[in-house]
C-alpha cells in the first residue's frame, strides 16, 4: 500500500503542469470562502444542539469547529502550496458528506453546501491535488534546497 502511495506521489510530482497551480490556488480560496460561510451559518448547529443532550451538543460543536478550521486553514495552505496532500486527505471526507447529504432539505446543517455542483467540483479538485501535490508555484518548491550540478 505504501509503495502504491509513493508511486502516485512521484507521478504527481513529475507530471504537474503550471496551469494546475492556478486551479489549486482557486481551490484553496474556495475552501476558505466555504469555511467562512459555514462559520456564518452556525445558527443551524445551535438549533440542532438545543434538541440534544449535553454529550451530543458538545460533539456537534466540536465537529462544526473542526470543519471550519479545516476549511480555513486547509484552504490557506492549499492555496499557498504547502501540505497540500495532507489537507486534501483531511477535507475529502467532509466534502463527501456534503455531496451525499446535500439532497436532504431537512438537514439545515449542510446549508453552506447547498451548491451541489460547487461541492462536487471542490471534491474533484481535492482528489486531483491529493494525487498531483503542490506543484511549481508553491511554498514547498521554494523551500526545497537547490541541487548544484558539478
Q: Is residue 49 part of a domain?
A: yes
pLDDT digits (tens, 9 = 90+) for 78-95: 999 999 999 999 999 998
Between residues 98 and 95, the one the model is more confident about: 95
Q: pLDDT class for 149, splitting at 50, 70, 90?
A: very low
What's the structural domain count of the chain?
1
Q: Is residue 15 part of a domain?
A: no
Q: Is residue 138 part of a domain?
A: no
Q: Is residue 143 part of a domain?
A: no
| DSSP secondary structure letters along 33-84 | HHHHHHHHTTHHHHHHHHTS-HHHHHHHHHHHHHHHHHHHHHHHHHHHTSSH
Whether the Cβ atoms of residue 111 and residue 67 lie closer than 8 Å to each other: no
Q: Is residue 48 part of a domain?
A: yes
- Give residue 71's domain range: 20-133
By the 10 Å C-beta count (0-12 exposed, 13-18 middle, 19+ buried), 82 is classed as: middle
Whole-prediction pTM: 0.75
* Type and span of the H or E element at 22: helix 18-40
Q: Is residue 147 part of a domain?
A: no
Q: What is the 3-state secondary structure (H, E, C) of 93-148?
A: HHHHHHHHHCCCCCCHHHHHHCCHHHHHHHHHHHHHHHHHCCCCCCHHHHHCCCCC
> Is residue 77 pLDDT above 90, yes or no?
yes
Q: Is residue 139 part of a domain?
A: no
Q: What is the grid cell recorded at 124?
A: 474533484
Amino acid at each position: 500500500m505504501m509503495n502504491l502511495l509513493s508511486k502516485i506521489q512521484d507521478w504527481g510530482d513529475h507530471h504537474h503542469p503550471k496551469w494546475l497551480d492556478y486551479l489549486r490556488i482557486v481551490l484553496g480560496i474556495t475552501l476558505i470562502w466555504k469555511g467562512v460561510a459555514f462559520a456564518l451559518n452556525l445558527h443551524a448547529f445551535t438549533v440542532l444542539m438545543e434538541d440534544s443532550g449535553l454529550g451530543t451538543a458538545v460533539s456537534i460543536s466540536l465537529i462544526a469547529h473542526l470543519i471550519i478550521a479545516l476549511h480555513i486553514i486547509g484552504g490557506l495552505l492549499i492555496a499557498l502550496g504547502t501540505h497540500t496532500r495532507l489537507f486534501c486527505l483531511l477535507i475529502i471526507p467532509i466534502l463527501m458528506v456534503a455531496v451525499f447529504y446535500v439532497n436532504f432539505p431537512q438537514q439545515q446543517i449542510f446549508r453552506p453546501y447547498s451548491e451541489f455542483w460547487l461541492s462536487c467540483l471542490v471534491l474533484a479538485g481535492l482528489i486531483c491535488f491529493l494525487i498531483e501535490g503542490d506543484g511549481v508555484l508553491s511554498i514547498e518548491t521554494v523551500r526545497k534546497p537547490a541541487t548544484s550540478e558539478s
